[in-house]
Amino acid sequence: MPKEFLKSRLKFCGDDVYFYPGVSISLPQTISIGNHTHLGENVHLRGGGAILIGEWCQIANNTIIATAGHPIDGVKYYGRVTLGDIQIGNNVWIGTGAIILPDVTIGENSVIAAGAVVTKNVQSNVLVGGVPAKKIRDISLCAE
């Protein structure tokens, strides 16, 4: 699908939002992207639950942001979907191949390491990594 068509289908799309080749979006009417945010090659946004991405975010290639899952209860999973919202604060960098799962909030100025699987909320101003993602260290803010 052409990039401009995808952008027009979003709930909200700010200025200077850039989609690199291969970005795919399902249920775009549930997704909002703030100003100056870039989505790298082959980023997949899977709406249904709300996805709110802040301003100045960098989402690296092959990242998956998915709001849907299945109830884990031993009953047939086919056709049974649960939805949760995802909120990504301003100035967040999500590294290559990260996966963000439902019911997660990522605080502003945080970094998600490459390959991390985020299953729980991430505070502001931290670096997280691993599977599942855990805090690695605080990020000291510097003046520009």
User: Residue 141 corresponds to which tokens in the numbers above?
Assistant: 């803010």
Distance CA(104)–CA(81), nearest Å, equals 17
CA dihedral 128, 93, 24, 87 (to 10 degrees): 70
What length is written for the chain? 144
Residues marked active site are found at 70
Contact between 57 and 94 (Cβ < 8 Å):
yes
